[in-house]
């Protein structure tokens, strides 16, 4: 199961109505896990990255999908972005994204298990 960039943007705008989304291509990115931008981050299409820790400007992960703030958005010119107002609590956003993955993947696992065991799906 993967969750879309737009889905996370919608979740984030509940906390930060000023959040904007920028896509570099026609396809909507889809993710199966969360990552944190760091100087040694290896970019993967499966990961939605959060720019939590200040880091050097010489390692922007090209073509990654990143959640960041307005003042740092320029470091990620070739990335898909959810841009939050400066001063936004990215740790809370990290927790939101993590809880969202946990909730939906738990739901997905329970559904697949019920199907595999031929259980009633209405429970």
Q: What does the pLDDT average to over 5-24?
A: 92
Predicted structure pTM score:
0.76
pLDDT digits (tens, 9 = 90+) for 67-112: 999 999 988 888 999 999 999 999 999 999 988 888 877 656 665 5
Note whether 5 and 48 are within 8 A (CB). Answer: yes
pLDDT digits (tens, 9 = 90+) for 25-49: 888 999 988 888 877 777 888 899 8
Spatial CB neighbours of 16, under 8 Å, sequence gap ≥ 6: 84, 85, 88, 93
Could you give the residue ranges of the DSSP H alpha helices within 16-89? none
Query: Which tokens sit at 69?
Result: 């703030």
């Amino acid at each position: 199961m993967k969750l879309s960039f737009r889905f996370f943007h919608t979740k984030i705008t509940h906390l930060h109505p000023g959040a904007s989304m920028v896509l570099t291509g026609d396809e909507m990115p889809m993710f199966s896990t969360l990552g944190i931008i760091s100087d040694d981050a290896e970019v993967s299409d499966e990961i939605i990255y959060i720019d939590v820790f200040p880091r050097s400007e010489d390692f922007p992960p090209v073509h990654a999908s990143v959640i960041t703030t307005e003042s740092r958005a320029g470091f990620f010119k070739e990335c898909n972005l959810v841009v939050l107002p400066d001063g936004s609590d990215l740790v809370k956003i990290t927790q939101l994204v993590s809880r969202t993955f946990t909730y939906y993947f738990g739901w997905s696992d329970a559904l697949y298990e019920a199907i595999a065991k031929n259980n009633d799906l209405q429970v």
